Amino acid sequence: MPRYALKIEYHGGAFSGWQRQKDHPSVQAAVENALSCLECGVPSIAAAGRTDTGVHAVGQVAHCDMAKDWDPFRLSEALNHHLKPNLVAIVDSARVDGDFHARFSAIERRYVYRMTCRRAPLTFDKGLAWRVPQELDIEAMQVGADFLVGKHDFTTFRASECQAKSPVKTVDAVEVSREGNDVRVTVRARSFLHNQVRSFVGTIERVGAGSWKPEDVKAALEARERAACGPVAPPDGLYLTGVGYPVDPFV
């Protein structure tokens, strides 16, 4: 069966996450339902990351096996037609080798978290960013974020329901930047624990707001206790922006 990689964009606000769930809308179900309109009996698809309720994506990757040899462009166009009116889009597709796996072949995942510093409620960006009512010191946030880079036991930043076998992960980068009123935190790693990025952001936001010192992030990490984590940031501002593979399937 020909295998295809799909690059997927979605607004997570209407979904209970990526993974198919009984009685709850999911991105996976929306894409699989669109695939079923093209062919009968399409196997379940696999994605690079199982984003949570309310989390968005501009670079999610999934793979699917089709019975027919589809032109990738026509496959994207047909899926987008059947995905309406869901806020999900196939932005690219590519034929890949049969051993390509969207999840297990990935060597990097990239997330961006967006905060907007303003007193007024969000209007156009409601559901797309975390409104923070005070200015943030991004230099102090970066100092705190630097403690999170490298190979560590991230028990402090791991949700209690996380199913990963080990809390040890290697984080390649945590970068804090500003664009106007927006403060963005970019995180790169091969893989993540459940709620790890949102836990990072909620903790270093406390540094930016002046409630924590940068060194408090190091102390929280070394505590290896969930209670030492700062508040978990809401899902609204989190975006899966890209997935890295040894060979980019979309080039």
Catalytic residues: 52
**Tokens standing for 81?**
């037609």
**Tokens standing for 209?**
């707001």
**Tokens standing for 232?**
């978990």
**How far is the C-alpha of 2 from the C-alpha of 139, rounded, in Å?**
49
Ramachandran angles phi, psi of 204, nearest 5°: -75, -20
